[in-house]
Amino acid sequence: MDEMEEELKCPVCGSFFREPIILPCSHNICLACARNILVQTPDAESPQSSRASGSGVSDYDYLDLDKMSLYSETDSGYGSYGGFVSAPTTPCQKSPNGVRVFPPSMPPPPQAQHHLLPHTGVLPPVPRNSCLTCPQCHRSLTLDDRGLRGFPKNRVLEGVVDRYQQSKAAALKCQLCEKSPREATVMCEQCDVFYCDPCRLRCHPPRGPLAKHRLVPPAQGRISRRASPRKISTCTEHELENLSMYCVQCKTPVCYQCLEDGKHSTHEVKALGAMWKLHKGQLSQALNVLSDRATEAKEFLVQLRNMVQHIQENGVEFEACLVAQCDALIEALNRRKAQLLSRVTKEHEHKLSVVRDQISHCTVKLRQTTGLMEYCLEVIKENDPSGFLQISDALIRRVHMTENQWGKGSLTPRMSSDFDLTLDSGPLLQTIHQLDFVQMKVPAAPILQLEECCTQTSSATLSWKQPPLSTIAVDGYILELDDGTGGQFREVYVGTEMICTVDGLHFNSTYKSRVKAFNSSGVGQYSKTLVMQTSEIAWFTFDSASAHPDIILSNDNLTVTCNSYDDRVVMGNTGFSRGVHYWEMTIDRYDNHPDPAFGVARADVMKDVMLGKDDKAWAMYVDNNRSWFMHNNSHTNRTDGGISKGATVGVLLDFTRGILLFLINDEQQGPVAFNTLEGMYYPAISLNRNVQVTLHSGLPIPDFYTPGESEAAGSVC
């Protein structure tokens, strides 16, 4: 609650607000203080006088006003007051709150002095053409005929000030003590009861349903109890009319008469209660975000204070090590020892200075943030819709502005607590005069960025970074993966980049990965091990990059044909070397009885001949009546049964047995085509312009086929 006190004090007098009024710039000032800092301008009318009248000034009006109220550090105040009266040449004054106030150099005329009219008890009328300058944002306003009465009163702020002063008046007592009530230490918002510590432990234990109750300091609870009753506000222009609507364009509550014959008759208006709830919700949401920032700031302050201790401990340890090394270097090292100690001390003091300055800056900002939060919470408790809406927009902007001040970078230490210097005690005696600090530490373990690491089909992408406070140079990184079966790690990447994609991994496999950094001093520690799972199903498409130029792909590279009468080869974009895989191809078009070939191939297979003509492919070519198996231009196992439009050709590749077999329309075509298959194979097909097929990958193995024993362990994909 003490932090909120600054929000409740006038920027001019430094005391708690008394009869505060709201200026068009959304700042507040006491009514009496506003009269004291008025400056009377000439009677001549100016464009600014009509635009800067007491209330209803739009945000765009301030653009012109600000041009007329520029402030200079070298003079005593403003260049002008509302464009009419020059600034005083006397030095500026400061209010108790530290805000600079610029009174007129000459005493105000008698009619403008702060005195009550005789026998009336009220303030005298404000002279015509008076100018008022906000002491906080320095915007100048020329008052209209209504004078200060044209500014709305901030009843919400006035109520918060009254309750705050009452809460400071007397200590609160426990409501459950039978004799000699003790001073209350907490107040339960749900039970609405003040407790001392013994009664709280006895009657309100933090368990069961009571664990969810919110306990607050007694002063805060007292203020919430004293929430003012809902008041009926009247219009400042039509004193007999109650405020019932809200003008969206002017952002102010209005009455029925303002809508009938006033300047708001053509403006968009909404129900006062609905806008009250809407703005309260917006302020609450903004406060939630700001509260998170304040929590982070508190944790950050704890971190900074711990850093001070760590810097002191590390500095003492480093100095002791340095002294021990220098003492061992006898006479020639004594002169250099003093210089090195001086350098370490300077580094120590510099680190402490930077961190302490950051602590001081963050403490001030957090105090201001906490004060604003507590003030906003009190404002939200108000039941006066119009009063709340008069200040809600400004408060929401202030909360957003304060939240933005806690953005990226503000909660990051400016200095590391480590001393990344090690004394090299190996130089010869003749090089003692060149003795200096050198970097002898290996890099720290990199940090894997889990949010950027992922797997896709048979590829894995890993990303990492150095620890945020590490200042040790890094020459490169080494990425290691195991074989997907829990075997030994192997290097898959060495370089300076901090992101790497590894292709050609096995499907349905679990890989472990880790990374380490190195520099001229050696290799650092490994990062934490990351476990990644590749896709269970072998989804793939045709590979346009490696296909023959005559190949035509469509349907997201799932449908293929050719623009040549000669056979051309296209392969899949994924290779297999482990597990059992099955895929099918549907014959979409089959003209003039061609003989397309289906099978698997190495990455360097010939692309301009039928699949199976060289020793890099294993295939079955088929026409409308029969089929043959072919490898290295050797034709075997002629089998009756061909294909036509709508037929389906299946390919089953089983690495557990090292075999390849084919199916046509769900029936096995011939015996096992090939065996003793080992290594990396890619799905492949050759065809000419008379054939068009569509690929279907990631299919389950046919029911008639029984996997090998190793497949029963779960490597089918």
pLDDT tens digits for 266-290?
888 888 888 888 888 888 888 888 8
54 versus 351: the higher-pLDDT residue is 351
At 41 the pLDDT is: 58
Say whether pLDDT at 408 is over 90: no
Say whether pLDDT at 80 is over 60: no
* pLDDT band, very low/low/confident/very high, at 231 (cuts 50, 70, 90): low
Residue 624 in contact with residue 593, Cβ under 8 Å? Answer: yes
* pLDDT band, very low/low/confident/very high, at 493 (cuts 50, 70, 90): very high
Instruction: Give the pLDDT mean for 206-210.
Output: 87
**What is the rounded CA–CA span in Å between residue 528 and residue 531?**
10
DSSP of 93-141: EE-TTS-EE---SSPPPGGGSS-PPTTT-SPPPPPTTEEEE-TTT--EE
Q: Which residues of 118-155 are buried (b: 16+ CB within 10 A; e: fewer)?
A: eeeeebbebeebbbbbbbbebbbbbbbeebbbbbbbbb
Instruction: Say which range, 31-35, 201-205, 352-356, 474-478, has the weakest mean pLDDT.
Output: 31-35
Q: What is the pLDDT of residues 87-103, one digit of tens each?
A: 333 344 444 444 444 44
Instruction: Give the pLDDT mean for 656-673.
Output: 93
At 151 the pLDDT is: 81
* pLDDT band, very low/low/confident/very high, at 262 (cuts 50, 70, 90): low
Sheet containing strand 682-687, edge to edge, reads 568-571, 682-687, 597-601, 617-622, 626-631, 634-640
What percent of the chain clears pLDDT 70, i.e. is strictly above it? 79
| Mean pLDDT (the chain, rounded) | 79
Say whether pLDDT at 221 is over 70: no
Instruction: Give the pLDDT mean for 20-38.
Output: 85
At 561 the pLDDT is: 96
Say whether pLDDT at 539 is over 80: yes
Instruction: Give the pLDDT mean for 126-130.
Output: 64
Say whether pLDDT at 334 is over 60: yes
Instruction: Give the pLDDT mean for 373-386.
Output: 88
Say whether pLDDT at 307 is over 50: yes
In 537-633, beta strands by DSSP E: 551-554, 559-562, 568-571, 580-590, 597-601, 617-622, 626-631
Instruction: Give the pLDDT mean for 576-590.
Output: 92
Instruction: Say which range, 66-75, 132-141, 382-391, 605-614, has the weakest mean pLDDT.
Output: 66-75
691 versus 110: the higher-pLDDT residue is 691
420 versus 348: the higher-pLDDT residue is 348
At 645 the pLDDT is: 93
Q: Where are the alpha helices (DSSP H) in 31-87?
A: 31-36, 47-51, 61-67
At 124 the pLDDT is: 56
* pLDDT band, very low/low/confident/very high, at 429 (cuts 50, 70, 90): low
Q: Is 633 exposed, middle or buried (0-12, 13-18, 19+ CB in 10 A)?
A: exposed
Say whether pLDDT at 186 is over 70: yes
CA atoms within 13 A on the CB side of 48: 25
At 672 the pLDDT is: 93
Q: Is 161 exposed, middle or buried (0-12, 13-18, 19+ CB in 10 A)?
A: buried
Instruction: Say which range, 380-384, 614-618, 627-631, has the weakest mean pLDDT.
Output: 380-384
Instruction: Say which range, 57-66, 219-228, 300-309, has the weakest mean pLDDT.
Output: 57-66
Say whether pLDDT at 59 is over 60: no
Say whether pLDDT at 246 is over 90: no
At 448 the pLDDT is: 93
Instruction: Say which range, 84-98, 170-184, 189-203, has the weakest mean pLDDT.
Output: 84-98
At 435 the pLDDT is: 65
Q: Which of 232-236, 381-385, 535-539 has the highest mean pLDDT?
A: 381-385
At 389 the pLDDT is: 87
Instruction: Say which range, 100-109, 153-162, 364-373, has the weakest mean pLDDT.
Output: 100-109
At 333 the pLDDT is: 66
What percent of the chain clears pLDDT 90, i.e. is strictly above it? 29
At 75 the pLDDT is: 35
At 417 the pLDDT is: 83
Helix axes 272-327, 330-380, angle to 10 degrees: 170
At 68 the pLDDT is: 34
Residue 615 in contact with residue 674, Cβ under 8 Å? Answer: no
Say whether pLDDT at 695 is over 70: yes
**What is the rounded CA–CA span in Å between residue 95 and residue 13?**
6
Secondary structure (3-state) at 685? strand
At 285 the pLDDT is: 87
